[in-house]
Amino acid sequence: MGLQQIIFLLLIGISGYFGFKRYGAIKRNIFLGQDEDISDNAGQRWKNVLLVALGQKKMFKRIIPAVLHFFIYAAFLMTQIELIEIILDGLTGKHRIFASSLGGFYTFLISFIEILSILAFVATIIFLWRRNMLKLPRFHKPEMNGWPKLDGNLILYGEILLLIGIFTMNGTDTLLQQLDPAHYPSTGNLAVSSWLGPALFGGLGESSLHILERAGWWLHLIVILGFIYYLPISKHLHIFLAFPNVYFAKLKSRGEMENMPVIMNEVKSMMGLIPEIPVDPNEELPEFGSKDIFDLSWKNILDAYTCTECGRCTSMCPANLTGKKLSPRKIMMDIRDRAEEVGKTLDADKTKTKENYDDGKNLFDYISKEELHACTTCNACVEACPVMIDPLEPILKLRRYEILTESAGPAEWVPMFTAIENGGAVWQVPDARDKWAQEFNQNQDAE
Residues 375 and 306 in one domain: yes
Shortest CA distance to 160 belongs to which of 210, 118, 112?
Answer: 118
pLDDT tens for the 447 residues of the chain, in order: 677 788 888 888 888 888 889 999 999 999 999 999 998 899 999 999 999 999 989 998 889 989 999 999 889 888 888 888 888 888 888 888 888 888 889 999 999 999 999 999 999 999 999 999 988 888 989 999 999 999 989 999 999 999 999 999 999 999 999 888 888 888 989 999 999 999 999 889 999 999 999 999 999 989 988 888 898 889 989 989 999 999 999 998 877 777 777 778 777 776 677 777 676 666 666 788 899 999 999 999 999 999 999 999 999 999 999 999 999 999 999 999 999 999 999 999 888 888 889 898 999 999 999 999 999 999 999 999 999 999 999 999 999 999 888 888 888 887 887 787 777 677 777 676 677 777 778 877 776
Q: Are 330 and 371 in contact (CB under 8 A)?
A: yes
Contact residues for 199 (Cβ-Cβ < 8 A; gap 6+): none
Residues 75 and 47 in one domain: no
Q: Are 30 and 301 in contact (CB under 8 A)?
A: yes
- Return the pLDDT at 413: 82
Helix (H, G, I), strand (E, B) or coil at 295: coil
10, part of any domain = yes
18, part of any domain = yes
Q: Which residues pair with 297 in a beta bridge?
A: 34
Contact residues for 286 (Cβ-Cβ < 8 A; gap 6+): 262
Helix (H, G, I), strand (E, B) or coil at 149: helix
For 133-152, how does the pLDDT look when each residue is reduced to its tens digit (9 = 90+)? Answer: 988 888 989 999 999 999 98
Residues 166 and 23 in one domain: yes
- Return the pLDDT at 322: 94
15, part of any domain = yes
261, part of any domain = no
Contact residues for 338 (Cβ-Cβ < 8 A; gap 6+): 292, 293, 361, 362, 363, 366
- Phi first, then psi: give them for residue 408, nearest 5 degrees: -120, -170
249, part of any domain = no
Q: Are 290 and 398 in contact (CB under 8 A)?
A: yes
- Return the pLDDT at 1: 64
Residues 404 and 423 in one domain: no
Residues 327 and 388 in one domain: yes
279, part of any domain = no
Helix (H, G, I), strand (E, B) or coil at 297: strand
Alpha-carbon Rg for the chain, nearest whole angstrom, is 29
Residues 173 and 138 in one domain: yes
Per the structure, the complete domain to which residue 184 belongs is given by 3-30+62-236
Q: Any idea what the CATH number is for the domain that residue 306 is in?
A: 1.10.1060
CA distance 217 to 396: 50
164, part of any domain = yes
For 393-432, how does the pLDDT look when each residue is reduced to its tens digit (9 = 90+)? Answer: 999 999 999 988 888 888 888 788 778 777 767 777 767 6
Half-sphere exposure of 53 (CA within 13 A, CB side): 22
253, part of any domain = no
DSSP letter string, 104-148: HHHHHHHHHHHHHHHHHHHHHHHHHHIIIII--GGGSSGGGTTHH
Task: Count the domains in the chain.
Answer: 3
